[in-house]
Amino acid sequence: SNGFTTAKVELRELGNTGLKLSCVGFGASPLGNVFGPVSDDEAIGSVREAFRLGINFFDTSPYYGGTLSEKVLGKTLKAVGVPRSEYIVATKCGRYAEGFDFSAQRVTKSIDESLERLQLDYVDILQCHDIEFGNLDQIVSETIPALQKLKESGKIRFIGITGLPLGIFTYVLDRVPPGTVDVVLSYCHYGINDSALEDLLPYLKSKGVGVISASPLAMGLLTERGPPEWHPASPELKSACQAAAMYCKERGKNISKLAMQYSLSNKDISSVLVGMNSIKQVEENVAAAVGFQLQS
Ligand code: NAD
């Protein structure tokens, strides 16, 4: 048989959670039309193809598309009809279209709203979203304890924190009891233009914390199409990435595939979360992973 077409993406353990995540994770922010409009058919087609190729991990947030990403993901998971025990859903709290609120009251209400939009009874991971914009001491003393209560109630299974500056992770993990924060989600720090997360991996491993790395394509910078209008990179970085994409293309290589393979190469990262909104993107990103598995 042809291993290339039948192989499924590898599963990797997530810290001490016991969860096994597909090494390619489905970033659902594009389902909130964050990178341009997506039809229901495209959303359902992409998620169905993801399952077929072994992707079992989906990440969203009430912030993406002002709750649209959660709604579309919920509708799509229902339409595809895979049993609940066979997939892992992460969503977030504390960041909304209206602004940030990491109070215990808000995040406790937030999970009920998310579960309703997702049409689920529980999420596997609830993450405090972009904590550098909140007060980190509030995250430690108020938000995470509120999430622990949600864990006891069965609405969430595991607790995570997300954000851009890597110092936020050590700040929080040094101040909470061991085992309270199960997962960190870092983004734009393990890709071909920035691999700063690598230095933090031994620390995270020593704490037993699972690591998810998002935005392997640097939110569109590492694509032939280029980033969306809102992308925060400097004009210099944008044009350097555009030049790199063209350089690869002239040599018959796709920069997105190379970027995926680089991010997937470190097995201390459980899942590389890539935003996808078409069957073609799902297939390309899985091919990057499977081709890499066969090589290694
Ligand atoms: P990304 O680097 O994954 O890039 C996504 C963009 O690349 C989209 O425009 C997508 O359509 C396009 N793309 C995907 N596969 C492609 C391919 N094979 N060829 C060409 N283009 C391709 O950035 P992202 O979507 O921001 O990050 C991925 C996910 O990680 C998000 O959807 C979200 O779930 C999560 N995330 C979380 C945080 C946070 O918690 N703070 C931050 C960033 C990302």
Where does the pLDDT of residue 92 fall: very low under 50, low under 70, confident under 90, or very high at 90 and above?
Answer: very high
Q: Is the pLDDT assigned to residue 41 strictly greater than 50?
A: yes
Dihedrals φ, ψ of 67, to 5°? 80, -10
Per-residue model confidence as pLDDT tens digits over 177-233? 999 999 999 999 999 999 999 999 999 999 999 999 999 999 999 999 999 888 999
Spatial contact of 175 and 141, defined as CB atoms under 8 Å apart: no
C-alpha distance from residue 125 to each of 8, 193, 210, 287, 292 (Å): 23, 28, 11, 27, 28
152/294: higher pLDDT: 152
Task: Please give the pLDDT value at position 32.
Answer: 87
Q: Is the pLDDT assigned to residue 293 strictly greater than 80?
A: no
Give nearest CA residue, ligand 1 atom 33.
27
Burial of 263 (0-12, 13-18, 19+ CB in 10 A): buried
Task: Please give the pLDDT value at position 125.
Answer: 99
Mean pLDDT of 122-128: 98
Q: Which residues pair with 25 in a beta bridge?
A: 273
How close is the Cα of 273 to the center of ligand 1, in Å? 7
Cβ–ligand 1 contact at 186 (below 6 Å): no
Task: Please give the pLDDT value at position 34.
Answer: 78
Give nearest CA residue, ligand 1 atom 18.
281
Task: Please give the pLDDT value at position 181.
Answer: 98
Where does the pLDDT of residue 1 fall: very low under 50, low under 70, confident under 90, or very high at 90 and above?
Answer: very low
Mean pLDDT of 104-108: 98
Mean pLDDT of 9-20: 97
Cβ–ligand 1 contact at 221 (below 6 Å): no
Cβ–ligand 1 contact at 273 (below 6 Å): yes
Q: Is the pLDDT assigned to residue 291 strictly greater than 90?
A: no
User: Annotated catalytic sites, by residue?
Assistant: 64
Task: Please give the pLDDT value at position 286.
Answer: 96
Residue-averaged pLDDT of the chain: 95
Structure-block tokens of residue 74: 């919920």
C-alpha 224 chain-centroid distance:
22
**Number of Cβ within a 10 Å radius of residue 66:** 15
Task: Please give the pLDDT value at position 292.
Answer: 65
Range from 10-19, 25-34, 126-135, 162-171 carrying the lowest mean pLDDT: 25-34
> 38, 46, 186, 219: which to mutate for ligand 1, most atoms within 8 A of CB?
219
Nearest atom, ligand 1, residue 285 CA: 18
Cβ–ligand 1 contact at 130 (below 6 Å): yes
> 274, 276, 279: which to mutate for ligand 1, most atoms within 8 A of CB?
274
Cβ–ligand 1 contact at 162 (below 6 Å): yes
